[in-house]
Structure 1
Amino acid sequence: MPLLHQLNPTPSFPSYTGRYKVGTVDVEIPVRELDSPSPAPSFSKLPTVAFRVFYPCQPDSEQKQVRWIPSPQREYIGAYARFLGANSAFSQFFSLVPQIVNYVSIPAHHNAELLEPTTHSKRWPVMIFSHGLGGSRNAYSHLVGSLASHGMVVIAPDHRDGSAPISFIHTPGEKEELTRVEYRKIAHKASTEVYQSRDEQLQIRMWELGLIHDAVVKMDQRIALSNVADDHKKHSGLTMFAHKLDVHEPGSIAFGGHSFGAATTVQFIKSVFYRNASDDPTYKPLFTPSDSSNIAKQITPTTPTVLLDLWGLPIQSPSTTWLKSQPMPAYHSLNGGRNILAILSEAFFKWSSNLQQTKAVVAKPANADPQQPGPHIFYPIASAHLSQSDFGILFPWLTTKVFGAKEPERVLKLNVRAILQVLRDSGVEVADTSVTDMEVREEDKKGVHDTRILSRNKDTVRGWISLSTEPEPEVKEPVSEGPADAVVEGEVLGQTVSREER
């Protein structure tokens, strides 16, 4: 087994580099205990909503770390192997050495006590981060855990729309009985059927985000909620978040996502903000929050928005063309765009049609005030789509061999640095970035801001390229001659796929 011989036999995560130790808790709440801001999709009967919380915890916490592959591990591993494709290098790894993957742990302390907020408001800032195809509440643990180590509470949903390799529902009142939600295989090439299927997934995802937002608000209000998650049966730790979360001030919560999760974030924010604005009879909204809902008050032009490798296809649906034509809510403010960060992997930068779609989403509208700064757009050189998830950092040899990705740990640090600085510029109080991560000497560090990471000047940060929103020259996209870069998320690794099919 030459492949396995060259792999690190015990994949592991590096330590988080923020000043705070990180805790994590798995949460699954019955839908009946939550107030949905928008009607549930008629075709979905999900009884619970699930997410993982990453947060700054007490420095003396000694609780065990949480397993990256959750229980039941055998089923998750099998689902990942099926998702990744029988002929892919990743699939071989998952199927041949499950005993190694079983023991990979997230370096966050399981059900640890929340640290008292050190911010001036005495509340921790909050972000909700949506996963992409093939993702889960654990799949971006290093990115969101790194943010938590800098003083954030990050909510990582487990979407049950068929976008995860597999997910499980604990039926309220019957904790030992699991209901499986299998991966839903949908083509990546645009068609009427594909748009309809992606619209259905977006409906579920946005409905879940609305419920999760309500759950987080209720957690802060100390409203009793049942947690039926498997690893939380003997704990009542949700009460520790009471009156410690900055979730009530309009625009205070940051929203982000990766790939399909980034598309979900765009649609969610726009759907809330423009909920009553359309008189277009062809527009069929996928999420319609009431004016009296908490989420309607939360989303404002000041909402920080993080889009990692935005996947454009789901937001091109004919049913939501009107919404697509509306600018991001940020441009209803003089500071428009300053709170928008889009980071592309080099693979997505080279995917010309998707790059143009990303630029169109985040760009200033034609009639924008010239004083508006516009968005931040970057890509790190030699990065792959999986570089923004845990896969790149856990399996660096594979991502290098298959996709040519380099320095996976540094690429994630660049992502974290940029996110933190956009949050600071949006008025969110987070801890300083370490001088090591900033790649400067202590004596060269100037204040708490990491201004270099958002500089648009060439070569300010090695391998970190700033992009404008100006359209790129149109080029014919060639058929890939090697393994496709995850076919949007990792679906058929090792298979030759044209860029048009992505």
Structure 2
Amino acid sequence: MTHLFTLETTACGLSWFTYKIFDFIVPTNVPDLFPTRNCYTDLRRKLSLFSGMGNSNSCSNHLGIPPAKGPNAVGCSDFMMDHTVKGTFFRLYYPCVACEEAEKPDWIPSKEYFYGLADFMNINRGLSEMIFNYLFGSFKIPAAMNAPYKQNGKCPVVVFSHGLGAFRTLYSAICAELASQGFIVAAVEHRDESAAATFFYHGKTEEPEEKEEESQLPKPNHEAPENLVEEWMYYRSLKPGESEFPLRNKQVKKRADECMKALDILIQMNSGKKMENVLGTKFDWMTLANSMDLCRIAVMGHSFGGATVIEALCEEVHFKCGIALDAWMLPLDDEIYVRVKQPIFFINSEKFQWAGNIMHMRKLVPRDSSSTQRKMVTIKGTVHQSFPDFTFLTGNWIGKILKLKGEIDPQVAIDLCNKASLAFLQRHLGMDKDFNQWDHLIEGKDDNLIPGTNVTEIP
């Protein structure tokens, strides 16, 4: 399958190497991450043409994740409830008190996430860390870390689910924009082994002796809480001969459960209950008391996260509506479709979807439906990678070479995604009595949006 967006992370860095080095870091048994199976030869040939063009500064020094456009400054903080693997872990984005000197968090929180991306892409960890850190180590998320929450009425709530091989920070352009528009957004980091990497803690029973073979293992670069030992969980690929559906179906159910747990924590925070954050961040979580509009709660996700949206809507009535970005429908049981009652909005890229996947979406959005409750649009000139932040952090020329960058400007693509998402949320959470913007979008009056899908070969 083509959950490919992490491949863009290697783009400029691969120009350092000749095709022989590329052969070393991308073995021949790599999963089918490219759109076509025979593109490795073509890719090596093309990359060799650029091997003398210098380091990534030549293609990335003008790049970065754009700041949010809404009227509110954006803050973020990490929360972990229960230090074990059964606990809940998310990054919260929220409207904050503006502070120009506030610290902005790293886009990639620690080197272990580089290792996770390498595992997901089936490439060498050591070389990938060097490449990824060189390319992206200095990039920041456009939000103020642990900034004070801005008290300004009650905020609607969104729980966000990341895609396969991603983690909680990779959709900051979407999450920060929603926060700037007055939403409180919890970006869950899933612990079902579908994330590139995540971590939790276990009790410290005794001080282990460092073995020689363990001396080269990744070392945590942040301090673990007292009496706890940090433990990392990395992406789990399919085993030889293993069928994909049973694994993904089990994972999507756990993902939905994690989204519901995150929502439960937010509800408790809103009630004023003191919640212990294992991470001990500086953010005062008690300031969120009575800050949320619990009648206006949505779930949103990309790719595997899109399937998680459908599963979560089925299981949790507090989610009033859902937005699925380029959803991957394979993980879902057939019986789930008739059980989902809430409004759903599918936002698809033009280049990723295929007839079989769309056919499953059509069970939720019938072709002849005139209802505004269930809609589908396609953003012209986009690819699967147009939704996560990677699209902002790779040069246009290398993106075109790898055929992983859309024909539309990345900023335009993400602005359209955010605009459409906001219009849907305002319409179906009852936030705005003027629905002209929503009607404008679904009627195809925007030149870059296709009502429905561009995929026509549907049985």
TM-score range, shorter chain: 0.7 to 0.9
Tell me the percent identity: 24
The amino acid of 2:276's aligned partner reads S
| 1:46 and 2:58 correspond | no
User: Could you say if the C-alpha distance between residues 268 and 130 of structure 1 is closer, same or farther in structure 2, counting changes exceeding 3 Å?
Assistant: same
Cα separation, 2, equivalents of 1:214 and 1:453:
35
Query: Match of 2:6?
Result: none
Q: Alignment partner for residue 441 of structure 2, among 447, 454, 459? A: 454
Q: Alignment partner for residue 112 of structure 2, among 75, 80, 105? A: 75
Query: Match of 1:489?
Result: none
Would the aligned equivalents of 2:300 and 2:324 in 1 still touch at CA under 8 Å? yes
Cα separation, 2, equivalents of 1:180 and 1:57:
31
User: Could you say if the C-alpha distance between residues 314 and 467 of structure 1 is closer, same or farther in structure 2, counting changes exceeding 3 Å?
Assistant: same
Would the aligned equivalents of 1:259 and 1:309 in 2 still touch at CA under 8 Å? yes
| 1:238 and 2:288 correspond | no
Cα separation, 1, equivalents of 2:267 and 2:108:
28
Q: Alignment partner for residue 328 of structure 1, among 330, 336, 340? A: 340
Shift of 1:96: 2.4
Query: Match of 2:406?
Result: 405
Deviation by residue 1:126-163 (Cα, 9 ceiling, x = unmatched): 10111110111101011111111111111100001111
Query: Match of 1:109?
Result: 144
Shift of 1:414: 0.2
| 1:311 and 2:328 correspond | yes
Shift of 1:11: 4.0
User: Could you say if the C-alpha distance between residues 164 and 91 of structure 1 is closer, same or farther in structure 2, counting changes exceeding 3 Å?
Assistant: farther
With structure 1 as the length reference, what TM-score do the two structures score?
A: 0.70
Cα separation, 2, equivalents of 1:51 and 1:116:
21
The amino acid of 2:176's aligned partner reads G
Per the alignment, in what secondary structure is the counterpart of residue 162 of structure 1?
Answer: coil
Cα separation, 1, equivalents of 2:136 and 2:388:
16
Would the aligned equivalents of 1:421 and 1:449 in 2 still touch at CA under 8 Å? no
User: Could you say if the C-alpha distance between residues 167 and 215 of structure 1 is closer, same or farther in structure 2, counting changes exceeding 3 Å?
Assistant: same
Per the alignment, in what secondary structure is the counterpart of residue 186 of structure 2?
Answer: strand
The amino acid of 1:26's aligned partner reads D
| 1:346 and 2:350 correspond | yes
Cα separation, 1, equivalents of 2:416 and 2:138:
28
Per the alignment, in what secondary structure is the counterpart of residue 80 of structure 2?
Answer: strand
Per the alignment, in what secondary structure is the counterpart of residue 141 of structure 2?
Answer: strand
Query: Match of 1:288?
Result: none
Per the alignment, in what secondary structure is the counterpart of residue 371 of structure 2?
Answer: coil
User: Could you say if the C-alpha distance between residues 225 and 171 of structure 1 is closer, same or farther in structure 2, counting changes exceeding 3 Å?
Assistant: farther
Per the alignment, in what secondary structure is the counterpart of residue 347 of structure 1?
Answer: coil
User: Could you say if the C-alpha distance between residues 170 and 237 of structure 1 is closer, same or farther in structure 2, counting changes exceeding 3 Å?
Assistant: farther
The amino acid of 1:64's aligned partner reads E
Cα separation, 2, equivalents of 1:234 and 1:392:
30
Q: Alignment partner for residue 231 of structure 2, among 169, 179, 186? A: 179
Cα separation, 2, equivalents of 1:310 and 1:136:
17
Cα separation, 2, equivalents of 1:461 and 1:241:
37
Q: Alignment partner for residue 305 of structure 2, among 261, 280, 298? A: 261
Shift of 1:451: 4.3
Deviation by residue 1:227-272 (Cα, 9 ceiling, x = unmatched): 112xxx352521111111112x3xx201111111110110121134
Cα separation, 1, equivalents of 2:356 and 2:328:
10
The amino acid of 2:104's aligned partner reads Q
With structure 2 as the length reference, what TM-score do the two structures score?
A: 0.76
The amino acid of 2:340's aligned partner reads M
User: Could you say if the C-alpha distance between residues 426 and 262 of structure 1 is closer, same or farther in structure 2, counting changes exceeding 3 Å?
Assistant: same
Q: Alignment partner for residue 185 of structure 2, among 123, 142, 154? A: 154
Matches within 5 A, 1:359-374: 359-363=362-366, 372-374=371-373
User: Could you say if the C-alpha distance between residues 258 and 453 of structure 1 is closer, same or farther in structure 2, counting changes exceeding 3 Å?
Assistant: farther
Superposition RMSD in Å: 3.0
Per the alignment, in what secondary structure is the counterpart of residue 362 of structure 2?
Answer: helix
Would the aligned equivalents of 2:156 and 2:293 in 1 still touch at CA under 8 Å? yes
| 1:165 and 2:204 correspond | no
Would the aligned equivalents of 1:129 and 1:257 in 2 still touch at CA under 8 Å? yes
Would the aligned equivalents of 2:427 and 2:435 in 1 still touch at CA under 8 Å? no
User: Could you say if the C-alpha distance between residues 14 and 468 of structure 1 is closer, same or farther in structure 2, counting changes exceeding 3 Å?
Assistant: closer
| 1:62 and 2:62 correspond | no
Per the alignment, in what secondary structure is the counterpart of residue 401 of structure 2?
Answer: helix
Cα separation, 1, equivalents of 2:349 and 2:127:
25
Matches within 5 A, 1:147-296: 147-171=178-202, 175=225, 177-186=229-238, 193-229=243-279, 233-247=280-294, 249=295, 252-272=296-316, 296=317
Cα separation, 2, equivalents of 1:312 and 1:393:
26
Moved more, 107-116 or 370-379: 370-379
Q: Alignment partner for residue 448 of structure 2, among 454, 463, 474? A: 463
Per the alignment, in what secondary structure is the counterpart of residue 224 of structure 1?
Answer: coil
Would the aligned equivalents of 1:84 and 1:91 in 2 still touch at CA under 8 Å? no
Cα separation, 2, equivalents of 1:427 and 1:474:
32
Q: Which structure 2 segments of 5+ residues have no match?
A: 1-15, 17-49, 205-223
Deviation by residue 1:286-345 (Cα, 9 ceiling, x = unmatched): xxxxxxxxxx5x24xxx1210101101101xxxx33223x15303xxxxxxxx4211111
Would the aligned equivalents of 1:30 and 1:172 in 2 still touch at CA under 8 Å? no
Would the aligned equivalents of 1:125 and 1:152 in 2 still touch at CA under 8 Å? yes
Q: Alignment partner for residue 424 of structure 1, among 420, 423, 426? A: 426
The amino acid of 1:382's aligned partner reads G
The amino acid of 1:128's aligned partner reads V
Query: Match of 2:156?
Result: 125
Deviation by residue 1:417-467 (Cα, 9 ceiling, x = unmatched): 00111112124438x9xxxxxxxxxxxxxx89534751423xx22222111
